[in-house]
Amino acid sequence: MTPKEVNLPLEVVILLMGSLALLITGILLFPVSAGILPYYENGLYGLLLIIFALQIITLGKTPWGDLRRSPGLLIAGFTIATLGLCTSFVPLANPLPRILLLLCFGPGGLLLLLQLYLSPSKAPAWSKHGGIFHQLTFACTGVYVLSMLMALLVWKQSLEATSTMAMILLFFGLTVLYLAVVLQKIYQQYPEAEKQPQGDVQLSTEQALLMLVALFMLLLGLLLIPVSLGLIPFAPNAQLGLLMVTFALQMLTLGNTPLGSFPRSWPMLGAGFLFAALGIISCIIPQILVALLTFLVAMVNILGGSITLGKVLLSSTKKPQDMPSQVLPILSKLFGTQVTMNVLAIMFGLSMLMPGLVHAMFIGMILTANGGVLIYLLRILIIIDKIQA
């Protein structure tokens, strides 16, 4: 019996991911403030920036309001994602991520709060509908107010100082979770309320996530080269954590796993949130999950690459029937790209199981190549979409 697919909109998934990050951080700050656990501030800041970037890239939702998706907005989103990745990977003091988060949470929360009550299409219109829309107004108000309070914590640089800060983060996480639940109920009752991103850039959720993963691989691969030469420090816990978060995003939004595509059932969503939770913990607390996640990520890449490579090679033996002549060359390129990508995934997995035998520079070269292949794959997928249209 096939598990029933769960319709979870992308906006709700991103809110749930943000809520999970805040809740886990709030819980972990209790032992951190007692000196029981170490704390990696860059990991949290980088993760929050990536969540903001994800909203901008996929939905056109910025911390300061909704905008049409344009090339400039996408560039801004990927710039923020790049800064978030670099912040997580390199454990160096850098004021820029803190300043950007301060602007996102502080002025961003204030602007969104003003838009909520002054825009005719928001709270004034929602109040006429009543019911669940009153809850939406209440949830949005709570999130925006707590966002400004979060800015104060970032400004004072005291996220790990006391258990009071942990309580604020827990309350913020619960409020974001409440907003996600309310939106999910509204989208179930009123499917037409789920608006698709508007703008000049036509980019599907799958293509946007593919671009984000390609950026992740390219940046990680390039950074590992100076790391292998001892020029800059590196945080392996954040690398593994963000890999797990990337896996989770693909599972939650598309049902795509390294082992293949599956319906977005409750077991699939549960596995996705488990991956996300492990990744978030690894981003924030150094060393504690490195050994476990190294083995898990390695096996996922080896098994996923091997299974998908087998499927691709098997499908290549079947001759397409009545295929238009202009489609065959692009399908040949797609086949070659998929083979290369899965071979690189297997090589990356094997290299992680042999850290003492494989030089970090070689791993960096594998990841850089993987990022380049993903970008090429994205180009092919866009061409195929145009042909189908």
The reported pLDDT for the residue numbered 175 is 96
**Whether 238 and 297 share a structural domain:** no
Give yes or no: residues 170 and 276 share one domain.
Answer: yes
Count of domains forming the chain: 2
- Out of 256, 272, 288, a domain closes at 288
- pTM assigned to the model: 0.88
Residues 281, 314, single domain; the answer is no
Residue 106 belongs to a domain: yes
Q: Which residues form the domain of 307?
A: 293-388
Q: What is the per-residue pLDDT across 98-140, written as a single tens digit (0 to 9) for each? A: 899 999 999 999 999 999 999 888 888 888 887 898 999 999 9
Residues 44-69: pLDDT tens digits? 999 999 999 999 988 888 888 888 88
What confidence score (pLDDT) does residue 110 get?
94
Bridging pattern class, strands 256-257 and 61-62: unpaired
Does 38 or 328 have the greater pLDDT score?
Answer: 38
- The average pLDDT across 326-348 equals 80
Average pLDDT over residues 308-331: 69
Side chain identity at residue 381, one-letter code: L
Distance of CA 267 to the CA centre of its chain: 20
The answer to whether residues 269 and 310 belong to one domain is no
Question: pLDDT tens digit string along 170-189?
Answer: 999 999 999 999 999 998 88
Domain boundary among the residues 241, 261, 288 is at: 288
Tell me, yes or no, whether 33 and 182 share the same domain: yes
- Using CA atoms, how far apart are residues 144 and 111, in angstroms rounded to an integer? 9
326 lies in the same domain as 260: no
Tell me: the pLDDT tens digits for 278-295? 999 999 998 888 889 889
pLDDT tens track for 76-100? 999 999 999 999 988 887 888 889 9
Q: Are residues 284 and 319 in the same domain?
A: no
Residue 335 lies in a domain: yes
